[in-house]
Amino acid sequence: MRTPLVAGNWKMNGSRDANRALLSALKGSLGDIQGVDVAVCPPAVYLAEIGKDLSGSAIALGAQDCSEQEKGAYTGELAGAMLAEVGCRYVIVGHSERRERQNESSAWVAAKFVAAQAAGLTPILCVGELKSDRESGRTESVVAEQLDAVLDAAGVEAFDRAVIAYEPVWAIGTGLTATPEQAQDVHAFIRNRVAGRDPRVAADLRILYGGSMKPDNAAGLLALDDIDGGLIGGASLDADAFTAIARAAGERVPA
């Protein structure tokens, strides 16, 4: 069975004092966690400091983005090798907020995915549709386009060293909620899409749910066959909530 992953995306939140308090609580509550991988993805300015704090713990470090370039005159960018050097194991690529606000195309995201793996990082590739896409019946075509861009650029075997996160963008911070059945349907579609290129890779691939997973809905979502953990936003800033989700993932028994 695939080992679940619960990754916290802190987005643009945190301070040195808040980070220390949150990490101290998480290391205390997750020190004996089994059956699940756990990671946190803080803002880039705190990565080196948090990398040292997490050294030797059960919690892995991830970044929220990386450049597709190795080095050079790219002001404000961070290369994958830089992230790896300060202790990152994971990096999020193609998050819906960056696709929208920074106009990241699927081709650009694919280049970041390739660069992240070249630096030894495990990409967490985000895919997902807008409300207008779902309402017009375009969920699968949008997700397929985002996914195929990376499959074509990196090859299907690259997904042996990657994670996918499905984000129903319309259900994040909007008050709308994706049902477990809606989430499972898209997760199954993603796995089947990868299986069309290599069934073995698809069977082993971890697909996370990134649509506002919380303690009160985590167990139900994680019980579904193709949901292998969560990319957690707001709840990752609350030690009790994040711990509850991680423990639910560790106790996951697929339906």
The residues annotated with a catalytic role in the active site are 95, 167
CA angle 237, 173, 249 (to 5 degrees): 50
Tell me if residue 69 falls in helix, strand or coil. Answer: coil
Are the C-beta atoms of residues 227 and 184 closer than 8 Å to each other?
A: yes
Are the C-beta atoms of residues 62 and 89 closer than 8 Å to each other?
A: yes
The number of residues in the chain equals 255
d(CA 3, CA 246) in angstroms, rounded, equals: 12
Q: Cβ of 67: how many Cβ atoms within 10 Å? A: 19
Q: Which helix (H) or strand (E) element contains residue 232?
A: strand 229-232
d(CA 116, CA 67) in angstroms, rounded, equals: 8
- List all residues 6 or more positions away from 23 whose beta carbon is below 8 Å from its beta carbon: 40, 50, 53, 54, 59
d(CA 203, CA 132) in angstroms, rounded, equals: 31
